[in-house]
């Protein structure tokens, strides 16, 4: 099984690339979706957040106001760190469960779409790591256009994350999303070709079929050994 890490920065276009993988039939484990699920009303993550941040961050129906919570943590590094600390165990376990379900289905290539791939150290479990990079000025302009925020607000939100240039330096594969969608799609096709190459023997052993092969070969070996000893 080949686990690919996909990450980027806010407004870098990571979701665009993730959707391209999805359209190509590659299964995706989306950390943003997982994060929403682990803070639904009544869950363990929900209880921890309410205890730490109070009832003021809740809608009338009891669900968490994610936009309000986002404003709070983006403006306060200590609260952002607290939130990440509270949710990290829930998100990690849910991600591994999603991987396990895809493994049981026989998926050989899986994309882990994780904005905080490096921050949560999950890059150590993935190879290759794909970073969607964008020119810093274009990133600010896209974020302002997307969220209707000021340039200062956009810059503060970008500064709250690890520098995208640093992520780029740590990547195995970089997709430059500074140009047009067609430019990104062209780069994506080359990346898709690379990640769709035959699995290495280590990756095959990690796949469901590979495990079955190991178990079968072991069982045959045991039977032959027993026959020779009898």
Predicted confidence (pLDDT) at residue 219 exceeds the cutoff of 80: no
Listed range (158-167, 197-206, 219-228) with the worst mean pLDDT: 219-228
Same domain, 112 and 171: yes
Q: Is residue 32 part of a domain?
A: no
pTM summary value: 0.83
Listed range (102-116, 120-134, 180-194, 205-219) with the worst mean pLDDT: 205-219
Same domain, 191 and 116: yes
Which of 130, 123, 109 is closest to 1 using CA atoms? 109
Same domain, 186 and 141: yes
Predicted confidence (pLDDT) at residue 222 exceeds the cutoff of 60: no
What is the domain-level CATH number for residue 188? 3.40.50.300
Same domain, 63 and 86: yes
Say what the pLDDT of residue 43 is: 94
Q: How does residue 208 score in pLDDT terms, banded at 50, 70 and 90?
A: low
Predicted confidence (pLDDT) at residue 226 exceeds the cutoff of 80: no
- How high is the mean pLDDT of the chain? 88
DSSP 115: T
Q: State which residues form the domain around 55.
A: 38-106
Domain count, the chain: 3
Say what the pLDDT of residue 74 is: 83
Strand order in the sheet with 129-133: 28-30, 109-113, 2-8, 129-133, 173-176
Say what the pLDDT of residue 1 is: 84
Q: Give ∠ CA 163-168-172 in degrees, rounded to 5.
A: 145
More confident site: 226 or 191: 191
Q: Is residue 155 part of a domain?
A: no
Predicted confidence (pLDDT) at residue 90 exceeds the cutoff of 70: yes
Same domain, 53 and 64: yes
Per-residue model confidence as pLDDT tens digits over 19-58: 999 999 999 999 999 999 999 999 999 999 999 999 999 9
Check: CB of residue 62 under 8 Å from CB of residue 41: yes
Q: Is residue 73 part of a domain?
A: yes
Check: CB of residue 114 under 8 Å from CB of residue 17: no
Say what the pLDDT of residue 119 is: 87
Check: CB of residue 101 under 8 Å from CB of residue 6: no
Check: CB of residue 46 under 8 Å from CB of residue 56: no
Q: Is residue 213 part of a domain?
A: yes
Say what the pLDDT of residue 207 is: 66
More confident site: 65 or 226: 65
Predicted confidence (pLDDT) at residue 221 exceeds the cutoff of 80: no
Per-residue model confidence as pLDDT tens digits over 122-179: 899 899 999 999 999 999 999 999 999 999 999 988 998 899 999 999 999 999 999 9
Predicted confidence (pLDDT) at residue 215 exceeds the cutoff of 50: no
What's the CA dihedral at 176, 181, 187, 189 to 10 degrees?
Answer: 150
Same domain, 219 and 127: no
| Angstrom distance (rounded) from CA 112 to CA 120 | 13
Which of 209, 227, 213, 229 is closest to 108 using CA atoms? 209
The DSSP secondary structure of 48-95, one letter per residue, reads HHHHHH-GGGB-TTS-B-HHHHHHHHHT-HHHHHHHHHHHHHHHHHHH
Same domain, 94 and 68: yes
Which of 96, 103, 144 is closest to 122 using CA atoms? 96
């Amino acid at each position: 099984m080949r686990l690919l890490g996909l990450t980027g920065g806010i407004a870098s276009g990571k979701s665009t690339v993730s959707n391209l993988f999805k359209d190509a039939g590659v299964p995706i484990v989306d950390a943003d979706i997982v994060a929403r699920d682990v803070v639904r009303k009544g869950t363990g993550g929900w209880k921890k957040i309410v205890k730490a941040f109070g009832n003021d961050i809740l809608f009338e129906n009891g669900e968490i106001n994610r936009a309000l919570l986002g404003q709070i943590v983006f403006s306060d590094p200590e609260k952002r760190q607290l939130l990440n600390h509270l949710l990290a165990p829930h998100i990690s376990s849910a991600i591994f469960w999603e991987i396990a379900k895809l493994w049981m289905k026989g998926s050989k290539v899986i994309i882990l779409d994780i904005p905080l791939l490096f921050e949560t150290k999950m890059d150590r479990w993935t190879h290759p790591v794909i970073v969607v990079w964008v020119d810093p000025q274009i990133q600010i302009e896209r974020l302002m256009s997307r969220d209707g925020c000021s340039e200062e607000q956009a810059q503060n939100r970008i500064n709250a994350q690890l520098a995208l240039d640093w992520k780029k330096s740590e990547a195995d594969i970089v997709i430059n999303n500074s140009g047009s969608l067609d430019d990104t799609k062209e780069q994506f096709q080359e990346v898709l070709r690379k990640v769709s190459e035959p699995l290495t023997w280590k990756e095959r052993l990690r796949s469901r079929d590979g495990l079955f092969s190991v178990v079968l070969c072991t069982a045959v070996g045991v039977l032959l050994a027993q026959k020779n000893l009898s």
